[in-house]
Structure 1
Amino acid sequence: MTAAFALSTSAGEKPPSTPAPSDPHKFLEDVLGDKSLDWVKARNKECISALGDPTATERYRRILAILDSKDKIPSVRQIGDGYLYNFWQDEKHVQGIWRKTTLDSYRSNELEWTTVLDLDALPPPTTGTASTWVWHGSSLLEEGPGGKWDRALISLSPGGSDADITREMDLVTEKFVDPEDGGFALLEAAKTSVDYRSRDEVLVGTDFEGDGSSLTDSGYPRVIKSWKRGTPLADA
């Protein structure tokens, strides 16, 4: 009986688990950490040493000249029945400008633009190491035929990362709507998704608690909330 009991116990035991191998590159998950950036610089240096500096080639200069050419047709997006909007970058507008024109002007040989937002003229980000803003796009309040088409959510990234901030803009005054006046604003950079549900309500996914609990393992929103105008984000 004793032998049988011992055999039964041994058969029910789980084999010892093998510890997971350590990841020598786990530090790269801190994408903006000094160690990660130093590692990237070292790998870039190795590539340039082996393959040469691509910016010194004639092909690079030719492609850059094509991209910077003013002869290209600017793509536009019509907002409502009014202006045509375009985001544009060149040597004078390195970070870019969001601008507008009329349909008649766009069809003419004397195309005239009005700048709505100049990213190069914005104050730099106040947090992190980024010194510039990168355009992440606009989301329009679309109210259908007869709508005002007068509001947009503007997303800007500090330095060009996946994280961004969002401000609401009045397209009539061409100014950001102050949060104290009910303007929607997400000023903490995060991987955010936000869009209008109605004039006074948006659907938003972001790092609500600041601890990543509302994000996926990749840092993107996994929770969407309804946020009403004039209320704090915590009440969404």
Structure 2
Amino acid sequence: MLRLLLLSFALLAMKTAPTLAQDDPHQWLEGVTDPKALDWVQQQNKRSLAVLEQQPRFADFRKRAEDIYADKRRIAYPDIQGDDVFNFWQDDANPRGLWRIATLKSYLTGKPAWRTLLDLDDLAKRENENWVWKGADCLGPVFNRCLVYLSRGARTRRSCGSSTVRPTGSPQTASCSAKPSTGSPGWTTTGCWSRLITARAA
């Protein structure tokens, strides 16, 4: 009797199981680099933009939003780590962004003396990669060594590459490898390996 009951439950579960992913007619849109999917997205963007541009106040709203985004007077939101402040900053001159550091004392003056730790525009150009910032984790309590998370073209975040930034120098960044290296610092990933940043001397 118990076997018949279990068999009935199994058959019922199979009958009511959701459609598998491969049966989804829109599954092809999941390909973030698939030319067909990207072309479809561009077509939808054009349709949406055409509707928005017909609105009387759209041009004014867009101009105001762009001015706010590019305004160098906007607040550089602090990520306070010990006695230092980290900040990721984007503007017209740095569209991909700068990851930078200043002392907390300097930040509180209202005119921080920023020092660049990582220039994503320069890194993307040198490594020929579409790097997008995804954040960083710094090791306390000193907060002088950090793992930086980047992604290719805003895909799922991953850490990649190996880099050291000296306290008063410019970044010395190793090029990214398509294959993980077991001898590299940090852990290996599907793209390459962890990017290690030394923010300042211990």
Structure 1 unmatched ranges of 5 or more:
1-13, 195-236
Amino acid at match of 2:47: E
Q: Judging changes above 3 Å, is the alpha-carbon distance between structure 1 residues 114 and 180 closer, same or farther for their aligned structure 2 residues? A: farther
Determine which of 138, 142, 148 is the counterpart of 1:154.
Answer: 148
Asked if the contact 1:136–1:157 (Cα under 8 Å) also holds between the matched residues in 2, the reply is yes
Aligned twin of 2:6: none
SS of 1:93's partner is: coil
Letter in 1 for 2:64: R
CA contact (8 A) 2:136 2:149 kept: yes
Deviation string 1:6-51 (CA, Å, 9 cap, x unpaired) is xxxxxxxx8xx79x69533221122321111111122222223333
Structure 2 equivalent of residue 90 of structure 1:
91
Deviation at 1:95, TM superposition (A): 0.4
Which residue number in structure 2 is paired with residue 63 of structure 1? 65
CA distance in 1, matches of 2:68, 2:92: 13
Return the offset for 1:134: 0.9
2:162–2:184 contact (8 Å) kept in structure 1? no
Structure exhibiting the larger radius of gyration computed from Cα positions: 1
**Which digits, 9 at most, give the CA deviation of each residue in 1:184-212, with x for residues without a partner?**
1545339xxx9xxxxxxxxxxxxxxxxxx
Q: Normalization by structure 1: what TM-score?
A: 0.57
- How many Å separate the matches in 1 of 2:184 and 2:156? 26
Name the CA distance, whole Å, in 2 between partners of 1:176 and 1:185: 17
Alignment match, 1:221:
none
- Contact kept in structure 2, 1:168 and 1:185, CA below 8 Å: no
Distance 1:32 1:134 in 2: 15
1:225 alignment partner in structure 2: none
2:160 alignment partner, SS class: strand
Give the whole-Å Cα distance in 2 for the aligned partners of 1:53 and 1:121: 38
1:33 equivalenced with 2:27 (yes/no) = no
Aligned residues: 169
8 Å CA contact 1:151–1:169 kept in 2: the answer is no
2:154 aligns to what SS in structure 1?
A: coil
What secondary structure is seen at the aligned counterpart in 2 of 1:75? coil
Contact 1:78 1:85 in 2 (8 A): yes
3-state SS of paired residue (1:100): strand
Further displaced range: 175-184 or 131-140: 175-184
Q: How does 1:218-233 map to 2 (within 5 A)?
A: none
Matches within 5 A, 1:88-127: 88-124=89-125
| Alignment correspondent of 1:140 | 138
- For the residue of structure 2 that corresponds to 1:85, the secondary structure is strand
Question: Tell me, what secondary structure is at the counterpart of 2:99?
Answer: strand
Q: Which amino acid aligns with 2:139?
A: L
Q: Which amino acid in structure 2 is aligned with residue 132 of structure 1?
A: N
Q: Secondary structure at the match of 2:37?
A: helix
TM-score (norm 2): 0.66
Structure 2: runs of 5 or more not aligned: 1-10, 176-180, 195-202
Structure 1 position 124, deviation (Å): 4.5
Structure 1 177/122 Cα, relative in aligned 2: closer, same or farther at 3 Å? closer
Displacement of 1:171:
5.8
Distance 2:109 2:51 in 1: 50
Q: Supply the AA of the counterpart residue of 1:183.
A: P
SS of the aligned residue for 1:112 comes to coil
Q: Give the distance between the partners of 1:120 and 1:29, measured in 2 at CA.
A: 27
